[in-house]
Amino acid sequence: MVTLNPIALILDLISPPRCARCAIRGTWLCSACAERLPRLDEHHCRVCAAPGARSTLCPDCYREHPPIAGITAPFEHRELARTMVLNMKYRGHRHLAHVLAPAMAATVTAHATVVVPVPLHPERKRERGFNQAELLARDVAATMRLPMRRLLTRTRPTPPQAGSSRVARLANVRRAFKAHPAAKGEVVLLVDDVCTTGATLFACAAALSQAGAASVFGVTATRASLEQGH
């Protein structure tokens, strides 16, 4: 992992584990606090994992099946789960990937052959010093004993996801990704931190399928509904 923030890296290495919620020492998340994580219940879309679906498919996926076999997530993007994702992403609490990734891996039933992180545009990665999707992908791959490979590149920066619908967001990320030819024949498990409409994962899956991937699944730490945003 390349980081341009050596102080954050050193702090990350020397600071002893503390629970992300109650700050008790010796663990990144104590068992009492882990029970408070807002788990995504069974009422979600089987394809895009949208919470609150009354049938197996949400209206969007029913209308048009997205170019991905299915997305899973252990948590809803609210309360402690949302705080953990935001702290990992914007406050450099990289160790939270160790807590989130095993829960993510536990939701995956697909027999993937490779784990692929959703890439950040190089400019954004330079600003942040790391790609949070890659931190999670590394730990998900380790948990599932699969290789992690960077088979996607972002060909243009996408503006912050401002649109209000899946259609608007899809237009925003369309053709923003390019897949490596090595994706051919692979069953890909895409990893990102949060899924809001699925648009980013759909665009990545479309690029991977175009490169010959056998099938593409996705897993994220949290699943938001549009109103929740990032």
What is the binding site for Zn ion (CB under 5 A)? 19, 21-22, 30, 33, 45, 47-48, 50, 58, 61
User: Considering the complex, what minimum distance in angstroms separates the CB of residue 145 from Zn ion?
Assistant: 29
Residue 187 CB, nearest approach to Zn ion (Å): 21
Looking at residue 202, the DSSP 8-state letter turns out to be: H
Question: How far from 65 is each of 2, 45, 68, 122, CA to CA, in Å?
Answer: 37, 11, 8, 31
Rounded to a whole number of angstroms, the minimum distance from the CB of residue 49 to Zn ion is 7
Q: What is the C-alpha to C-alpha distance for residues 89 and 189, in angstroms, rounded to an integer?
A: 21
- Return the number of the residue (21 or 178) whose C-beta is nearest Zn ion: 21
Closer Cβ to Zn ion, 85 or 144, answer by number:
85
Distance CA 119, CA 105 (A): 19
φ, ψ for residue 158 (rounded to 5)? Answer: -100, 140
Would you say 19 or 208 has its CB closer to Zn ion? Answer: 19
d(CA 143, CA 115) in angstroms, rounded, equals 11
CB of 80 to Zn ion, least distance (A): 9
Closer Cβ to Zn ion, 84 or 136, answer by number: 84
Helices (DSSP H) in 41-154: which residue ranges?
A: 59-63, 79-90, 96-106, 122-128, 132-144
Tell me whether residue 77 or residue 154 sits nearer to Zn ion (CB atom).
77
User: How many CB atoms lie under 10 A from the CB of residue 102?
Assistant: 15
Write down the least CB distance from residue 166 to Zn ion, Å: 9
